[in-house]
Structure 1
C-alpha cells in the first residue's frame, strides 16, 4: 500500500501522513512517497502508482484537487491532526530583517504588520531549509529545525501546533450518496451535551 503526499522531505504533510499511518497501525505495511505538487500526487493515484493521496484541507491547492479530479479521485477519509510546532525563526548572525519568509496559509499565525516585506515560499519545509542555508534571515518554520541548528538559528516567537483538517483521497467512491460522519465523535458528544 502506498500513500503519496506533498514533499519535500520533512514537510508537515509527510509528518502528518506518517502519524496517520501509525494511528491506523499500518505504518509498517504502507509506504509514503512525496510529490512536488498535488497534481503529481493525484496523477499517481489515478495511474495506480500510489493508492492514496493525503492533503491538508486548507492547502491552497485543495479546491483545484477536488474540482479537477471530481471523477476518479474520491475522498475516502478525513481527520484532524496537529502540525509540527511552528515558530518565527531568525538566523542568529543576521541583522534584524524587515523581511519574513512564509508559506501563504501560515501568514495569519503571526502579526504580519511587524514586517516590512513578506516573501512567499511554497512550503514551511522550504522556509525551514532556507533558514538553515542562509537564504532567509527570518521565517515561519519548524521549531525542530531551529532546535537541530541552534548554533545558527533561534526561535523568536513560538507559535506551536495548529490543528488542521486533512483529506485522504483514493480511487473508490465510498459515500454512496449519503453523509458519512462519526456519530460517536468528540464533536458529537459536545453536540448532544449542548442539545
Structure 2
C-alpha cells in the first residue's frame, strides 16, 4: 500500500486534492493519511511511515517543510488544482459581524480585512467552521459547501470562488537529477505559442 500523507482533519481541501491526484494517476493501492501538521508528515516521510507528502504551496508551513530537510526530502512533483469554493459565512443571529476566522496568511488577501475589527487565525478550514458554529467568531472564510450543510445556522455573506492553487508532492528520492524538471507537453506551451514564442527545432506552420 502506497501512503500519501496530507493535512487533516477529514474534509480539508488537502484531503480532496490528494484524492484527486491519486485518481489522476490511477493508483489502486493507495491510501491517504491525515496528519495534524506538516512537521508530523515530514517526520513520517523521513522515518519511512509515509511514501509521499502532498502540500499546498500557499500553506503557512510550506517554507519550513521544503527547507528543513532539503538534503533528505525532495519535491518530486507539482501540479495545479482548483480548490473547493470559498465563501464568507456568518452565523445567522449576528447582524453586524465584527470578528472573522480565517486561514492566515494564506487566505487573508482574499478579503478586505478592514471590514472586521478582529481577524482570528485558524489551523484548518473544518476546524475554523466548527469554531464559527461554537461562537468563537461572527464570520469565517471557509468552504461554501458548509452553507448548504447548515442552512439554519449560517448565511452566505460573500462567495469568493475557487483559486487555482499549486500543490507540491514530496518524496525521499530525488526525481529531478538536480536539473530543471518541467514538461514540454504542458498547457503553457500553447499559451507561449499564442504569445508568439518560437521554439528551437520546431517547424513553423505553413
TMscore range, shorter length: over 0.9
2:138 is matched with 137
Alignment of 1:57-72 (within 5 A): 57-72=57-72
Which structure features the higher share of helix residues?
Answer: 1
Aligned residues: 194
Distance apart, 1:190 and its partner CA:
0.7
Q: Mean Cα displacement is larger for which, 70-79 or 117-126?
A: 117-126
Task: Give me the TM-score of the superposition, normalised by structure 1.
Answer: 0.95
**Equivalent residue runs for 1:76-87 within 5 Å:** 76-87=76-87
Deviation at 1:63, TM superposition (A): 0.9
The one-character-per-residue Cα deviations of 1:3-57 (angstroms, maximum 9, x if unpaired) are 000111111111111111111112x421001111111001111111110000011
Larger Rg: 2
1:47 — aligned with what?
A: 47
1:18 and 2:23 correspond: no
Deviations 1:52-71 (A, max 9, x none): 00001111111111111111
Q: Deviations over 1:77-100 (max 9, x none)?
A: 100011111000001122422111
For structure 2, the 5+ residue unaligned runs are 198-206
* 1:137-174 superposed Cα distances (whole Å, 9 cap, x missing partner): 21101111121111111111001111110000011111
Where does 1:96-135 land on structure 2 (aligned, <5 Å)?
A: 96-104=96-104, 105-135=106-136
Deviation at 1:132, TM superposition (A): 3.0
Contiguous gaps of at least 5 residues in structure 1: none
Partner of 2:177: 176
Q: State the Cα distance separating 1:136 from its structure 2 match.
A: 2.6
TM-score with structure 2 setting the length: 0.90
Structure 1 partner of 2:186: 185
SS of aligned partner of 1:127: helix
CA distance in structure 2 between the aligned counterparts of 1:109 and 1:58, rounded to whole angstroms: 13
Question: What's the Cα RMSD here?
Answer: 1.2
